[in-house]
Structure 1
């Protein structure tokens, strides 16, 4: 996750010109409305081209010529649509013939309602109306004769044009839909035939020299719309089949018709299924003398809606649409107002295309902000907003969501520290007064207490072996509080010191007799001078104290500057590495590590030497080959890296070393399905390696300066199964003893060389 403060977005070209924006919007809407006779068939053809594109590609893969594949796909779509229309019309005719039979049941239920709830003119009129309508329908089906009542006077008028007008109206009612279908079909065939050519021309038209962004926009729009259309068609068809099957088993007449209509009406957002489900519900009232059929139909509808909306659609759609529910509703109303019922059907894919295009056009970025489902605030911005408001409950809720995997240190590094950097930027720009700063720190302290579960941070009289100092400001002290909580969670007594204690007068009054480790925390951009003087003063009082400097500014982290000196033993840039450095300095058994700490360069060279020895060892190399073969991976390797060292691109570290540091920081298995589409894709070593999939497991190594990771790499994207991950973890346990033997042998050789 990118923890850098977000850059200020470029202002929209339309910013400050509201009149121009309004006129442009009105012009676009006018063109869409007046040109709907051409635009609507074109839009339908484009959407059908998205849907039929995979079918055409599949036919071409089996050696069918391009033109033949297109004609077969289009003809199949026409036959399918025609079959659905024929089935729906025949079912409607059958339903119309059966309606008179349901008159008695409806009248009886209305009389029962009248008896139950008392008399009323409304129910009387309803009963008489139903009886008259039923009689009229029945008379029409029996040769247009009426059994009862007064004879109807017949007037014969010959105006000479009645037959011609009727013929014209019938002809136009048939020719209109056929003409629209023909236009859509012609558009569709040409779109499929000239797909590559049209794509190139569109890119040339809109790219303005930036083919990369334009291609990414088109690919994303095509992939997202195609995935959504396929998923929606699958869900709608399954819904219609289950709805029809359920109605058939219940006994509702014309179940196939309602299943077809449910499939079609589900394309209308939110209310489509409710509209079509109301018809079989009313029909159940008319068919069944009792109420059981009605209850069964309502139960079927509610069950299907609950399953599809809460389980199936979130899994299949996911974020494929990229739209918020409110945006879906507004889009449906907008396109329905412009284009009628067709607008309801095409509203979702059209709006998806517009939102995707807006992402790559700077002047239209406000559209994605208004309609897109992506959070408009980054997690660190959202967390910072809660801190500014002093809302500890909502800030804790944000924190709980971010640490679902239980990695509190990662939350501190990726969310909390960047939020403090936003507060620091506000202070530098004079955008926040001191009361805001104090509110941020106090609220953060309350959030830390909530997520860490530390009600009383006191040490209960236990000797404090670790002091964590805030460097200069109260924001530095907030970072010190996070570091201290992580060290306390590891089981070591720790105390947080205010920045004032690092001044000359404050350090002179400190009692460091029982302190083994001091950690200095700085959020500013140039902390080296302050840290060096503070470390020197601490070591004057207690020469053997282990001083760790934490530089948490992003510029220092990216530059790779070490900042170590004779007074500063270790420099870290994250909460997780500060915790591991402190615990390593205290020792695994809670005893201070004796002797001087090796420099980072020496430790890095020793780690790489141990990695090379492991690769050359015959037993380890054989085990790695077997692991790669069993996991179906390209290669397996053991990587040894220094502990307590933050990666920077200037270090010239390999992709294996960087990923190994990530595994050790997580203290657990790391699985990456595709490195090229992961948070590590920006690293040059990862891009140049050609590695796509990664699975790494930490190897237990009894060393306080180095850690080892067993990893498998694959040159194609993949997701390792649980069985394969378990095999890697078991191999890591087996390799631990071999690596420990190599480490002991290396230490013995170094000692012998010194002697």
Structure 2
């Protein structure tokens, strides 16, 4: 099952001070609104610095001085923006000059609609308006034509505004935008020049002595915003290009203008492209006498939207933003209200930074809970919530989704059992009454009826197996799952309520055809109750096999060597309990390591083989040669049990855990940086100091053990094809040496026995 770490916000210190929280929020909003003249250019400069950072870094890597790299990058951006603005302005002028030519086509289209739909107020008014405007234009043209061709006397009148006043008006109309561009440019240049210095100062100011958390927050925010800006720029440029090209092919006037505007407006979440697509749609009505162009533009827009939103964006964005769609919409409305159209464009990156900051700043965790996309409840917690509420439909839907992904056995052990443990904890802490427990069990029973695999006919008649709920209804729910897994193996099984284990219940029970009894306990001290119940069952039928299921998390450490003469096998999961029952019924054990008591011993044996392989001169020589050829820190052979799931991570080394991942994939696993990978949450991986990893499976003839040949590095790196090729080529000789080691080891054991 995939390991997921949901957002776990710390309680807010403002939670008990609602008035203080409201006043603080109002003050922050007021400062952002009143200071928008400063904040907007600064935010734009910061976002451009994020976007240009990789460009400046790339220029510096090829030997360009820092100042030159910054100037070249900023100049290129200014030139690009200026060129786009000039092109858009010229296209707008062209469009304005062509608009009067479309009046006749529009009037004809409206008359067609009037005839088709029988008129109506709206259509009648539109027709009248267009005809009136057309008449005015024609009247003006006729008046000019009828006028005398005599020269017109031009008189310069002084209206009170001299040339100086006119110049001032023009100057002040353009000084605002130019000043904003200049301020953003200056901010951008200084941010790029002083990037490292500003980062250090910010860390000193924000860390409060905790440099690790502050650095992680800054790196995460920078990574998320950088990925988002890169993905958004790529998608927007591609979208605008395809949109403009499509309009050009369809014959829509000024297609370049609409493509440019589509690229810009796509930064506005949800509605940006819809706004800009409306204009060419209306324009197509005015240009084309028919309807082909209109339907073509609408089809082009729909195809681009569906493709970009459902195919391109999920691949490029991934989890780069970490925001829910609702959070994106609320953020867009909030920043647009404060800062206008610019707020729409910067809403996503700003909100990403706020959510990342909330993750690392104590007291602000509620922000990530509200806006973040990380699940706030673990799968077992969500399932438990559905059971509490009695929501059978949603519980079944969640179960089906998990079963489709991981299988029904993993669903039982990873989702259903932990959910019942939560219910048991609530009952033990007096947080739930018996009716609550009964509702949980009833809902779970309905879920199990829906998801259970095919049950053999007459499964409970003359049952070979009796599965007992130990003490409570929750124990009986555990018994339902164990019985389902036993039936899935082809054996008949009957679920017995906890009352059946009482003295009077056992006395009335017919166990003549029952071969195995499985006792299920979810609560504390299960071994005490299990021994007592097993003793009673053995008195009635001495040869019955007793399997005890201890499902409380604190009793995973109970060893099977501690079994008494009453209890034959102990299991700590649904899958292993069903497996133990099958073994007791004579099913051939295809993998000895699948027995509950065999996994720890087999893991010790695997570690012994790993140690012997590392000490073997031939294998050690091959590993040193591989590490030297691949130019890496170390090469290693790791042997692990094939049926050991790898979920018991605290008891495994990082090499063992990663070896399980390689064997599950049955192929090469390459990780550029373990600290920024799906395995970064694992304690052994973090403590090992290993950053880069590449591993390939080593084929062994042993049916219980698997081996992996891997190379490690203490610095992040991506192993190239040549290095991976060296690793794969080394598999065959290393496998032969390990097999020789097995032969020598077996011979030594036989000699010791003799």
Q: TM-score, normalised by structure 1?
A: 0.84
Return the match for 2:133 from 119, 122, 130: 130
Q: In structure 2, what is the Cα distance between the partners aligned to 1:570 and 1:225?
A: 54
- Over residues 107-139 of structure 1, what are the superposed CA-to-partner deviations in whole Å (9 max), with x where a residue is unaligned? 222333344444665144222343157559x97
Q: In structure 2, what is the Cα distance between the partners aligned to 1:631 and 1:536?
A: 62
| 1:553 and 2:552 are equivalent in the alignment | yes
Name the counterpart of 1:291.
291
Q: In structure 2, what is the Cα distance between the partners aligned to 1:24 and 1:637?
A: 58
CA contact (8 A) 1:670 1:695 kept: yes
Name the counterpart of 1:470.
469
Name the counterpart of 1:42.
42
- Over residues 360-417 of structure 1, what are the superposed CA-to-partner deviations in whole Å (9 max), with x where a residue is unaligned? 2232222222222222322112111111122222111101112223422222222111
Name the counterpart of 1:713.
710
CA contact (8 A) 1:423 1:437 kept: yes
Instruction: Identify which range, 101-110 or 75-84, moves more after superposition.
Output: 101-110
Name the counterpart of 2:258.
258
Distance 1:688 1:537, change over 3 A: farther
Instruction: Map 1:75-224 to 2 at 5 A.
Output: 75-118=75-118, 121-131=124-134, 134=137, 146-147=144-145, 158-161=158-161, 163-224=163-224
Aligned to 1:209, what secondary structure does the other structure show?
coil
Pairwise CA distance, 1:44: 0.3
Distance 1:680 1:249, change over 3 A: closer
Name the counterpart of 2:499.
500
CA contact (8 A) 1:521 1:550 kept: yes
| 1:453 and 2:450 are equivalent in the alignment | no
Distance 1:536 1:108, change over 3 A: same
Aligned to 2:519, what secondary structure does the other structure show?
strand
Q: In structure 1, what is the Cα distance between the partners aligned to 2:481 and 2:344?
A: 52
Name the counterpart of 1:344.
344
Instruction: Identify which range, 483-492 or 607-616, moves more after superposition.
Output: 607-616
Name the counterpart of 2:436.
436
Q: In structure 2, what is the Cα distance between the partners aligned to 1:689 and 1:575?
A: 36
Instruction: Map 1:517-556 to 2 at 5 A.
Output: 517-538=516-537, 546-556=545-555
CA contact (8 A) 2:523 2:551 kept: yes
Q: How many residues align?
A: 735
Pairwise CA distance, 1:233: 0.7
Instruction: Map 1:595-674 to 2 at 5 A.
Output: 605-609=604-608, 635=635, 637=637, 639-641=639-641, 653-657=652-656, 673=671
Name the counterpart of 2:306.
306
Q: In structure 2, what is the Cα distance between the partners aligned to 1:531 and 1:667?
A: 39
- Structure 1: gaps of 5 or more residues: none
Distance 1:604 1:172, change over 3 A: closer
Aligned to 2:562, what secondary structure does the other structure show?
coil
Q: TM-score, normalised by structure 2?
A: 0.84
Q: In structure 2, what is the Cα distance between the partners aligned to 1:36 and 1:131?
A: 45
Pairwise CA distance, 1:605: 4.8
Name the counterpart of 2:365.
365
Q: In structure 1, what is the Cα distance between the partners aligned to 2:288 and 2:358?
A: 53
Distance 1:614 1:27, change over 3 A: closer
Q: In structure 2, what is the Cα distance between the partners aligned to 1:629 and 1:485?
A: 54
Name the counterpart of 1:485.
484
Instruction: Map 1:46-65 to 2 at 5 A.
Output: 46-65=46-65
Distance 1:444 1:527, change over 3 A: same
CA contact (8 A) 1:519 1:547 kept: yes
Pairwise CA distance, 1:256: 0.5
Distance 1:697 1:525, change over 3 A: farther
- Structure 2: gaps of 5 or more residues: none
Instruction: Identify which range, 520-529 or 419-428, moves more after superposition.
Output: 520-529
CA contact (8 A) 2:638 2:656 kept: no
Root mean square deviation of aligned Cα: 4.5
Pairwise CA distance, 1:486: 2.3
Instruction: Identify which range, 70-79 or 481-490, moves more after superposition.
Output: 481-490
- Over residues 605-652 of structure 1, what are the superposed CA-to-partner deviations in whole Å (9 max), with x where a residue is unaligned? 54545566777899999999999999999757462549689976785x
Pairwise CA distance, 1:181: 0.4
Distance 1:552 1:208, change over 3 A: farther
Pairwise CA distance, 1:212: 1.4
Aligned to 2:364, what secondary structure does the other structure show?
helix
CA contact (8 A) 2:50 2:226 kept: yes
Distance 1:461 1:644, change over 3 A: farther
Aligned to 2:520, what secondary structure does the other structure show?
strand
Pairwise CA distance, 1:480: 2.4
Pairwise CA distance, 1:600: 7.3
Instruction: Map 1:389-408 to 2 at 5 A.
Output: 389-408=389-408
Name the counterpart of 2:276.
276
Pairwise CA distance, 1:40: 0.4
Name the counterpart of 2:242.
242
CA contact (8 A) 2:459 2:487 kept: no
Pairwise CA distance, 1:683: 3.6
Distance 1:644 1:112, change over 3 A: closer
